[in-house]
Amino acid sequence: MKWLVFALLGVGVPLAGQAAQIAAVGVENQYADVIAQIGGPYVQVTAIETDPNTDPHSFEISPRIAEQIAGCGLIVENGLGYDDWADKMLAAAPDPSRKVINVQALLGLPDDTPNPHLWYDPKTMPVVAKAVAAGLAALDPSNARYFMAHAAAFDAALKPWFFAIKSFKAGFPGTPVAVTEPVGDDMLQAAGTDIKTPFTLQAAIMNGTDPSPQDVTTQNALFTGHAVKIFVYNQQVTDPLTQSFLALAQAQSIPVVGVDETMPAGYQYQSWMLAEVNALRAALVSGKSTRSLP
C-alpha cells in the first residue's frame, strides 16, 4: 500500500506542475544515480563524469559544466583529489544555500587516503544516501518524507549486493587476485580477497607515472606462476603496460573481470555493484572472463 501511495505521488506531482525541481549534480554518474533514486521526480540530476571510455583522473572542464555546477542546489563530489576541479567551480560561484556533499568529508577520511575510489566500498553509499536525503529535505521540506522513504528503499536495494559479497567471502575466503589499479580494491577487500599486486604498482598505473621494474616483475610472476585466480582489470585507466598484463593473463588462462571508474550504461548503482561480484564469482566457479559488463 505504501508503495502505491509513493507511486501515485511520484506520477501526480510533476503532472500538476507544482514546486520547481531541485537542480542537482553528481560529479560521477554513480553519485548522480543515488541522487536520482532518492530525489525521484522532485530533482533534476546531471552527471558530469559519464563517459566509460575516458579516464576520470584526467578530466577536463568545459564552460557548460561550470554553469551546471554554479546553478545547482545540491552536489555530490567524491573528494580525495579525484574531482578537485569541482571545488574550484563551487568556490567561483558561492551560494550559501547550496548543499555540497563531499564523500571524503562525509566519511571522515584523511587527505592521504591512498585509494580515492570510495564508491566500491560497501560502507560508502548508505552514508551518502542519508546525506543526500537530508540535503534534499532541507531544500524542499514539503517532500522530506518522500526523500527519507526513498533513502530507505535505496538501502534496502543494496541488500542483494551485500549478500553477494558476504557469500563470496564465506565461499572463497582469501582468493588471491591481481589488479591493474586500485579502483575496485575496497570491494575486493570486503569480499575477502587477497590483492597480490603491489600497491606502488597500482598507484603508478593510476597516476600515469613510470612503474618500477621490480613491481612489474612481481606482477608478471603472479600470472606466469598462476599465483592469482582472477585478474581485475580497470578498463578506464589503460596504457601499454596494463595491456601487456591483460595479454599475459589471457595467455595463462587466468579469468579477467573488468571494472570501471564510472557506472556503465544500463545499470543502477546497486545492480552495477552486484554484477561485479557476480562476475568475480563466475570467474572462480567456471573460469569465465567478463571483460566488460553486458
Partner 1 sequence: MLGFFTSSPVQTALAVSAGAAIVSAVIGVFTIIRGQSFAGHALADISSAGGAAAYLVGVSPMLGFLGVAVIGAGALEVLGVKRAAERDLVTGIVLGAGLGLTALLLYFDVTARSTTGAAVSVMFGSMFAIPPAIVVPALLIGAGAVGATGLIYRPLLLCAAAPELAAVAGVSPRLIGFLHLLILALAVTLSAMTVGAILSTALLIGPAAAALRLTRQAGAAIALAAGIGLVSAWGGIALAYESYGWTPGRTWPVSFFIVTIVFAFYLLSGLRARAA
Q: Which residues bind partner 1 (CB under 8 A)?
A: 53-55, 57-60, 198-200, 204-217, 220, 235-241, 243-244
Question: Cβ closer to partner 1: 21 or 238?
Answer: 238
Rounded to a whole number of angstroms, the minimum distance from the CB of residue 247 to partner 1 is 8
Which of left, alpha, beta for 226 (phi over 0: left; psi -120 to 50: alpha)?
Answer: left
Q: How far is CA 2 from CA 111, 134, 141, in A?
A: 42, 21, 20
Is the distance from CB of 155 to CB of 126 less than 8 angstroms? yes
Question: Cβ closer to partner 1: 198 or 264?
Answer: 198
User: Which residues lie across from 233 on neighbouring strands?
Assistant: 258
Indicate the SS3 state at residue 153: helix
Question: Cβ closer to partner 1: 60 or 111?
Answer: 60
Question: Cβ closer to partner 1: 18 or 209?
Answer: 209
Rounded to a whole number of angstroms, the minimum distance from the CB of residue 258 to partner 1 is 12
Rounded to a whole number of angstroms, the minimum distance from the CB of residue 188 to partner 1 is 20
Rounded to a whole number of angstroms, the minimum distance from the CB of residue 61 to partner 1 is 10
Residue owning grid cell 556533499 = 101
Contacts by 146-152, CB closer than 8 A, 24 or more apart: 146/6, 146/9, 146/40, 146/42, 147/38, 147/39, 147/42, 149/2, 149/6, 150/6, 150/37, 150/38, 150/39, 150/40, 151/38
Question: Cβ closer to partner 1: 68 or 219?
Answer: 219
Rounded to a whole number of angstroms, the minimum distance from the CB of residue 262 to partner 1 is 11
What gap in Å lies between CA 1 and CA 217, rounded to an integer? 60
What gap in Å lies between CA 279 and CA 293, rounded to an integer? 8
Question: Cβ closer to partner 1: 54 or 252?
Answer: 54
Rounded to a whole number of angstroms, the minimum distance from the CB of residue 236 to partner 1 is 5
